[in-house]
Amino acid sequence: MRRAVIAFTAFMGGLILVFLVGASTAWAEGEEVRGTLRLQGQPVQGVKITVTSDADAPVGDATTGADGTWSVPIEKSGSYKVTLDQATLPAGKALRDPNRGTLTVQVFEGNARNVLFGLVDANAPPAGQGDDGGGSSYWTRVAQLVFEGLNLGLIIALGAVGLSLIFGTTGLTNFAHGELLTIGAFLAFFFNTVLGLHLLIAAPIALVIAAAFGWGQDRFFWGQLRRRKTGLISMMIISIGLALFLRALLLFLFGGGGESYDQYVAQAGIQIGPISATPKSLVAMGIEIVVLIAVGLALTYTRLGKATRAVADNPALASSSGINVDRVIRIVWAAGTCIAALAGILLGTTQNLNFQMGQQVLLLMFAGVTLGGLGTAYGALVGSLVVGMFVQVSTLWIPPEMKTIGALVVLIIVLMVRPQGILGRRERIG
């Protein structure tokens, strides 16, 4: 008991130290207002943003870059007005609400404030004017959102498959799984931007290191907790602490600002029927589909896949049948971490990298896993696609800033009708 208390105290002390050091690094950078302009997932370049004080004194201005990002440093905390120059918007793009071209924000000491401006296709008729929901422009927008939902759903599925397999084989609800996406993205960023390797070379190296990290996690951490008969509730709480630690570590190492890869930041869209897509998004979707099919085939037809399913069904029976349960679980951890890292890298090609990017999609991964059926890889895939589709298509009726709420609504409704999820199995209790 005494050793456990000392170890826990040392862990929490290290966590607080890393957090404070990381926070002090962020504070040293000073306050700023920043943001990213995107329309239908694509960055909007060349738009002027002006920042003034609450008394209309000029503070600074910026122009969105190739990745749609902008930032304006400020000298002290306070209230500021952020104005988007609508005259600089590219042709075919406009503010969703032209009267909200100026936003008033509060910036606190040592913090950066994100400012969001909602953009729409200026060529599309406003809701209720010239289009009653049956016009061609309406269905064009629906097709575009379905495509974007499929893209998002596939990324969520990559992360959710590993999360589901780990839960199925160990019973652990891992709240640190989102950070595995972030680690993969930043490993690729390190080799790509810092060491100068092309992303096509940096990404495979990052995946190998991520797989080794996943194997090491179970070998030296989670496996030790299982041997000590640590309860699943305790392990879940530990995973929350691990998530905070990894997030603070990433903040310390890479800072709190947005980063991007050296390649594939901005690409011209290509028109495929009613859908506009970039080459990188099509390639990413192809990679995601191939990987998910490969995982499904491996689970179904390979010896390791059958052993994994046996461990998920009944670890004690699998062990008595000659299966090395610990070895299977470590391979699942390595594969799940590698797949999650791949999801983080692909996500990093569509948005800026930041230390919270994994946390931001963790809720969607949990929704996909729970919706599809806990512990089933196929359920995680189906649930994630449903969540991704609904999240994007729901922006037809609700503001994009609130689209994540749609995933929770779908989750609640489905679980009220089918508690075990779409592909989950009923379990007898008692």
Q: Do domains 32-121 and 139-266+274-417 have the same CATH topology?
A: no
Of 378, 368, 364, 365, the C-alpha closest to 423 is: 378
Q: For the residues 122-139, what does the mean pLDDT come to?
A: 55
Q: 208 versus 143: which is more confidently predicted? A: 208
Helix 377-393 vs helix 403-417: crossing angle, to nearest 10: 130
Say if residue 231's pLDDT is above 80. Answer: yes
Return the domain boundaries, the chain.
32-121, 139-266+274-417
Instruction: Indicate the pLDDT class of residue 41, thresholds 50, 70 and 90.
Output: low
Backbone angles phi, psi at 61, to 5 degrees: -145, 165
The segment with the largest mean pLDDT, out of 22-31, 208-217, 419-428, is 208-217
- Per-residue pLDDT for 350 more than 80? yes
Residue 150 is encoded by which pair of tokens? 């499929």
Neighbours of 189 (CB within 10 A): 22
pTM tops 0.95, yes or no: no
- For residue 131, the model assigns a pLDDT of 46
Percent of the chain at pLDDT > 70 equals: 84
Packing angle between helix 357-372 and helix 377-393, nearest 10 degrees?
120
Q: What is the mean pLDDT of residues 306-312?
A: 89
Q: Identify which of 71, 69, 74, 48 has the alpha carbon closest to the alpha carbon of residue 59.
A: 74
Nearest to 346 by CA among 207, 172, 197: 207
Summarize the confidence of residues 252-280 as an average pLDDT: 81
Q: What is the mean pLDDT of residues 160-178?
A: 89
CATH code of domain 32-121: 2.60.40.10
Residue 88 has pLDDT above 50, yes or no: yes
pLDDT in tens, 378-413: 778 888 888 888 888 887 777 766 777 777 777 787
What torsion, rounded to 10 degrees, do the Cα atoms 194, 45, 107, 17 define? Answer: -20
Q: What does the CA dihedral 323, 324, 328, 329 come to, rounded to 10 degrees? A: 120
pLDDT band at 129 (very low <50, low <70, confident <90, very high): very low
- Domain 139-266+274-417, what fold? ABC transporter involved in vitamin B12 uptake, BtuC (1.10.3470)
Work out the pLDDT band at 134, boundaries 50, 70, 90: very low
Q: What is the dihedral of CA 148, 153, 155, 158, to 10 degrees?
A: -160
pLDDT bin (cut points 50, 70, 90) of residue 333 is very high
Taking the C-alpha atoms of residue 366 and residue 298, their distance in angstroms, rounded to an integer, is 23
DSSP 3-state helix, strand, coil percentages of the chain (rounded to 5)? 60, 15, 25
Q: pLDDT band at 335, cuts 50/70/90?
A: very high
End-to-end CA distance of the chain: 33
Whether pLDDT at 4 is above 60? no
Q: What are phi and psi of 152, to 5 degrees?
A: -65, -40
Top pLDDT among 308 and 397 is at: 308
Q: What is the DSSP letter of 29?
A: T
- Give the least confident one: 17-21, 78-82, 268-272: 17-21
Q: With 50 as the cut, is the pLDDT of residue 311 above it?
A: yes
Angle at 251 between CA 246 and CA 257, to 5 degrees: 140
Backbone angles phi, psi at 73, to 5 degrees: -70, 145
- To which H or E segment does residue 304 belong? helix 303-313
Residue 343 is predicted with a pLDDT of 93
> Please, what is the average pLDDT of the chain?
81
